[in-house]
Amino acid sequence: MTQRFTGTENYVATDDLKVAVNAAVTLRRPLLVKGEPGTGKTVLAHEIAKAIGAPLIEWGVKSTTKAQQGLYEYDAVARLRDGQLGDERVHDISNYIRKGKLWEAFTSPELPVLLIDEIDKADIEFPNDLLQELDRMEFDVYETGERIAAKERPIVVITSNNEKELPDAFLRRCFFHYIKFPDDQTMREIIDVHFPDIQRRLVTQALEVFYELREVPGLKKKPSTSELLDWLKLLLVEDMPVDVLQNRDPTKAIPPLHGALLKNEADVMLLERLAFMARRENR
Amino acid sequence: MLLNFLEELRSAGIRASLKEHLTLLEALDSDVIERRPEEFYYLARATYVKDEGLLDRFDQVFHKVFHGVFSESGEQEYSIPEEWLRAVTEKFLTEEERAAIEQLGDWDEIMETLKKRLEEQEDRHEGGNKWIGTGGTSPFGHSGYNPAGVRIGGKSKNRRAIKVWEKREFANLDSSKELGTRNIKVALRRLRRFAREGAADELDLDATIRGTAKQGWLDIRMRPERHNAVKLLLFLDVGGSMDDHVKATEELFSAATSEFKNLEFFYFHNCLYESVWKDNSRRWNERIPTWDILHKFGHDYKIVFVGDAAMSPYEIAWPGGSVEHMNEEPGETWLKRVVDTYPAVAWLNPSSQRSWEYTQSTHMIRQIMNDRMFPLTLNGLDDAMRELSRKHG
């Protein structure tokens, strides 16, 4: 692996992110990515895969996900049924073992990028149960006595939203990167990447509205990068004139097409109330 | 050098271990980064810090350890004698202008800023500390000295690497960080009691085999999945003497909310009386009668009080003893009602166990609780959870 990750045409990576990714790719240690929702944690894995031309294996974690499901599952019911029907397959237990994402990643013919998405959604023991498997990149299949070992250590990207803390032993094995909310400059680069021929003035106005909105105290969910991009897309599709954003007075605190920015009814209400109060003061 | 760095990190509370250290060495060895201080900083950060709450501390330690090091190797460090600076300002500024600047802040501070700006600027110029006079190196030629504010040196576009951690961008994340909740969660797990409830969507293999053998045909048996079925009522003492223990209580609380699905919490002040509240900012308007709680939540709920139990004995034993309002029945009666209603009760006391015997009210409450008072430490929590999960006949 000689090429370095430098971001892609669709993804703006900051310097510190590049270093973290390159370290994880070179040493083949898992990269743990945290950050506000919507700052591009999951997208990062897609872009790493694209950048180095590797297939991406995605493992989305839910609250009911067990570590074992990432390795393999033994479908006892199917075997029982086949046994009942006298199917020949029943004699070979390996017919009933379903491969999990980790198995897939370990045995993939090409070097893959494995994304373990939102690891904090799972049970508190989940990361502990994967310690050995991610460290040695191998595990045993008890039903068949097989040992599955990775030919080449896959590149592992793990994302977390900080809903649960992860155990120390797990963290020690990872590189860590916290995607902080992009500053104005980075944000412009990101917008450039996504909307190359957007008007400068529109971007400036939109960013102003956006950062202002993030400053509003008490918002339940602050809009983040992905919301901003959606919003810009909408503004473009609707062919919104720039002066709609420009001529904003405090009495109309709600930005146009706010549905893309604010995902929470309470937040919209809050803004409306603020606007109402501003109106009353102006009277 | 690097080992010293590791030690400093550890003493700053970043739990970096030998494992991370070896990883860093390995990364350096395999040329992951270009040999630039900035990249080294990023790499070290990704290796040692696993928690955004600690990033700021890392920046500080990094600054402390590597201060001046990078300038020695590679870039030249300039130390500018103070007299020079003074001379320069005197040369360039009139008396009034200096006074105007002095008003803006401490003279030393301004000097410090000036010095920093100069240092920053030096590395953009061709060699040398002959910065007065000769072509383009004069710091004041670049952007001038403005009496309205010290704006020396333009906004440097290629910021020096050192400045990245000096910016301390993560400073505000540090305070929002809850520490140690994981330990508490692990202790709370002792209380987990798994029970099968809800939709039958999991194959019961044993029952299926048994059923199939008995029936002679495939008899699939399903069962509900196991859930943590413990129900918990948490009563938290707020205000007054509890202010010292806010942090411990918050940690416990945040750990408990994420660990239990059936968790209800209520606030009280000093002692439990006829009503409690759920939202501390609206404690006077939205009170919940304690009777309602006793009636609403079944006996299988487990009760945890968190409070320092330090108050005047009257607040427990006498009607009207409350410091805040007129209570018709003494707190003791209310506590006893709770203890009688719910078999599993524990009182967690955040004040240190040694001080308990000196406080009469602590004694009294302990008696009411039938000696089920535990310190709010990991061990105490462990004991309390064991007590709560005991089979109550």
The partner residue sitting opposite A27, judged by closest CB among B27, B203, B217, is B27
B45 vs A contacts (CB less than 8 Å): 16
Compute the nearest-CA separation of A242 from chain B (Å). Answer: 30
- B208 contacts A180? CB cut-off 8 A: no
Pairing of strands A72-74, A97-99: antiparallel
Which residue among B26, B46, B51 sits closest to A20, beta carbon to beta carbon?
Answer: B46
Cα of A122 to nearest chain B Cα, Å: 12
Q: What is the distance between the alpha carbons of residues A242 and A210, in angstroms, rounded to a whole number?
A: 14
What's the gap in Å between the CA of B74 and the closest CA on chain A?
21
Which of chain A's residues have a Cβ under 8 Å away from the Cβ of B29?
A: none
Residue B343: other Cβ atoms inside 10 A: 16
Cβ–Cβ gap B17/A76 under 8 Å: no
Find chain A residues with C-beta within 8 A of B218's C-beta.
Answer: 80-81, 84
DSSP string, B289-343: EHHHHHHHS-TT-EEEEE----S-HHHHHSTT--SSS--SS-HHHHHHHHHHH-S
Helix/strand/coil (H/E/C) assignment for every residue in A40-100: CHHHHHHHHHHHHCCCEEEEECCCCCCHHHHHEEECHHHHHHHHHHCCHHHHCHHHHEEEC
Which pair of tokens denotes residue A113? 């990028």
Interface of B with A (CB under 8 A): 15, 17, 19-20, 23, 26-27, 30, 32-33, 38-39, 42-43, 45-47, 49-52, 55, 169-170, 181-182, 185, 189, 203, 205, 208, 212, 217-218, 220, 258-259
Instruction: Name which of B49, B170, B205 is nearest A176 (Cβ-Cβ).
Output: B49
Q: Which of B20, B42, B204 to mutate to test the interface with A (most CBs of A within 10 A)?
A: B42
The shortest CB-CB distance from A172 to any of B19, B32, B52 is to B19
pLDDT string in tens for chain B (393-residue length): 778 888 888 888 787 888 888 888 888 888 877 777 788 888 888 888 887 777 888 888 888 887 766 544 433 334 444 544 454 555 455 566 556 555 555 555 555 655 565 555 444 443 343 343 333 333 333 333 333 333 333 333 333 333 455 555 555 444 333 335 566 666 666 666 666 666 777 888 888 888 888 888 888 888 877 766 778 888 888 766 676 776 677 777 777 776 777 788 888 888 888 888 877 665 666 788 888 888 888 888 888 888 888 888 888 888 877 777 778 888 888 889 898 888 889 888 888 778 788 888 888 888 888 888 888 777 777 788 888 877 665
Q: Of A26, A13, A166, nearest to B52 (Cα)?
A: A166
Q: CA torsion B232→B238→B243→B244, rounded to 10°?
A: -30
The dihedrals phi and psi of A175, each to the nearest 5 degrees, come to: -90, 150
Please say whether the beta carbons of B370 and B340 come within 8 A.
Answer: no
B15 vs A contacts (CB less than 8 Å): 168
A113-117 and A56-60 beta bridge pairing: parallel
Terminal alpha carbon distance of chain A: 66
Residue type, B237: D
Listed residue (B232, B252, B244, B236) closest to B178, CA to CA: B252
**In the predicted model, what is the mean pLDDT of chain B?**
70
Contact A22 B220 (CB under 8 A): no
Contact criterion met (CB < 8 Å) for B46 and A171: no
Residues of B with CB below 8 A from A34's CB? 52
B208·A80 Cβ contact <8 A: yes
CA distance A105 to chain B (A): 23
B221-240 CB burial, b ≥16 within 10 A, e <16: eebeeeebebbbbbbbbbee
The b-or-e profile of B60-83 (16+ CB within 10 A means b, else e) is bbbeebbeeebbeeeeeeeebeee
Name every chain A residue with its beta carbon within 8 A of the beta carbon of B52.
Answer: 34, 178
User: What is the C-alpha to C-alpha distance for residues B134 and B68, in angstroms, rounded to an integer?
Assistant: 26
Residues of A with CB under 8 A from a CB of B: 15-16, 18-20, 22-24, 26-27, 29, 32, 34, 76-77, 80-81, 84, 124, 163-168, 171-178, 180
Name which of A20, A34, A81 is nearest B42 (Cβ-Cβ).
A20
Q: Which candidate, A18, A105, A17, A107, places its Cα nearest to that of A58?
A: A105
List Cα–Cα distances, A190 to A193, A205, A232, in angstroms. Answer: 5, 16, 12
Residue B148: the pLDDT is 33
CB B385 within 8 A of CB B337: no
pLDDT at residue B179, as a whole number: 38
Q: Write out chain B residues lying below 8 Å of A215, CB-based.
A: none
Q: Can you give the pLDDT of all 283 residues of chain A as single tens digits?
A: 445 777 777 788 888 888 888 888 888 889 999 888 778 888 889 989 988 888 999 999 988 888 889 999 998 888 888 888 888 888 888 888 999 999 999 998 888 999 999 888 887 778 888 888 888 888 999 888 889 888 888 999 999 887 777 888 888 888 988 888 888 888 888 888 888 877 777 788 788 888 888 877 767 778 888 888 888 888 877 777 777 666 655 555 567 777 778 877 777 777 777 777 766 766 5
Contact residues on chain A for B23, CB-CB shorter than 8 A: 27, 29, 175
Neighboring chain B residues of A81 at a CB cutoff of 8 Å: 218
Residues of B with Cβ-Cβ distance to A24 under 8 angstroms = 46
Nearest to A180 among B169, B217, B259 (CB): B169
* Contact assessment for residue B235 and residue B305, using Cβ atoms and an 8 Å cutoff: yes
According to DSSP, residue B268 is labeled E
Question: A26 and B27: CB-CB below 8 Å?
Answer: yes
Q: What is the pLDDT of residue A115?
A: 93
* B53: its two tokens: 């709450």
What's the CA angle centered on B167, arms B165 and B169, to 5 degrees? 90
What residues of A are in contact with residue B220 (Cβ under 8 Å)?
77, 80
B50–A124 CB contact, under 8 Å = no
Q: Do B217 and A84 touch (CB under 8 A)?
A: yes
**For residues A40 and A22, what is the distance between their CA atoms, to the nearest angstrom?**
17
The 10s digit of each residue's pLDDT in B140-198 is: 333 333 333 333 333 333 333 334 555 555 554 443 333 355 666 666 666 666 666 66
CB contact under 8 A, A176 and B208: no
